[in-house]
Amino acid sequence: MMDNQHEEVFNDFTLESSGTSGTSSPASHSEDGFELLPAAFLRSTSIDASAAATSNESAAESLPVDAYFASYDEPELENVIGVDNRVRINPTTGYPWRAICALRIRTSTGNNYIGTGWLISPRTVITAGHCVYMHNEGGWAQSIEVIPALNDSTQPYSSGSSSRFRSTAGWTRDKNRDFDYGAIILPTAYRPGDTVGFFGYTARTDADLLSKTLNLSGYPADKGGNTQWFHARAPKAVAGRTITYDIDTFGGQSGAPVWILENGSRYCVGIHTNGHNAGNSATRVITEVFNNLTTWRNLGL
């Protein structure tokens, strides 16, 4: 079916990294033996960034969710659906938490925002399109600082800034929520994925998605924006280009990974973008999204 607005045009407008800076961690392997994936690990419909489960999530292997739990009291918020069930991830240095990054976004107009992203290759961070391109702030961001596994004031894998972004014409030109996703390509001097690993991603059928538990973790501003918070639930609905769920989220979690855990491997199936009283939602990874992510992944190898 022709789908002109929906043609997944790869928007090649790029702000080159003239202002990039960054520092890289020296370790090529993580402390828990995560093995780097070969460049040729691409499968036809999914990319598997499997990793050994860390001790703090070992119980998750037998549960349908991807974290350990704690009990706490929180005020009730609207996009936190019902009781707030978010769990703080602490420490953040286990996989997959360390592959999730706090974003500090500076717009071309000089204003600042908080978002979330996740690594899919040594230097490629996936996030929401509205984190890299803001129509109300002059378009492409001026720069974004990427902080993997930020935990309060601790930056266990340092941080890197970039001014090199990618998104889709469906978002930058048409403001279409269905195409709200993008990428940050980090400078060559900063390769956090070599150390922390990265997520896989996959395009799945409606029935498959509806049978899974979705996991989501990011950096909500109501918790200060410096700590990582997780929640998991079954999807509420699946549409052609979106997935809706009652996972508790808050501003600052735009761009967070929505993933499934399958045989010990994590596959992202969506990019969290929107809050709504009736259900929060992600841009769904479908074949066209998958192909763009793969193109962008290759830019950060």
Binding positions for other proteins, rule: CB under 8 A = 5, 77-79, 105, 110-115, 128, 130-131, 134-137, 174-175, 177, 180, 220-222, 224-225, 249-254, 272-277, 280-281
265 is known as an active-site residue: no
Residue 31: CB atoms within 10 A of its CB come to 11
Query: What's the CA gap between 247 and 270, in Å, rounded?
Result: 13
Instruction: Select 1 or 40, whichever has its Cβ closest to other proteins.
Output: 1
Answer yes or no: 254 catalytic: yes
Whose Cβ is closer to other proteins: residue 66's or residue 248's? 248
Residue number, 46 or 162, with CB nearest to other proteins: 162
| Closest CB 222 distance from other proteins, rounded Å | 6
Q: How far apart are CB 287 and other proteins at their closest, in Å?
A: 23
Catalytic residue among 24, 30, 130, 217: 130
165-168 vs 10-11, strand pairing mode? antiparallel
| Structural Rg of the chain based on CA atoms | 17
Question: Least distance to other proteins from the beta carbon of 281, Å?
Answer: 7
**Rounded alpha-carbon distances, angstroms, from residue 124 to 1, 7, 94:** 31, 23, 19
Question: Of residues 24, 254, 272, 281, which has the active-site annotation?
Answer: 254
From residue 205, alpha-carbon distances to 23, 131, 211, 222, 260 in Å are: 40, 27, 10, 34, 13
The gap from C-alpha 185 to its chain's centroid, in whole angstroms, comes to 14
* Closest separation in Å from C-beta 182 to other proteins: 12
Would you give the distance in Å from CA 46 to the centre of its chain?
Answer: 16
Q: Which is nearer to other proteins, 180 or 194 (CB)?
A: 180
Please identify every residue annotated as catalytic: 130, 254
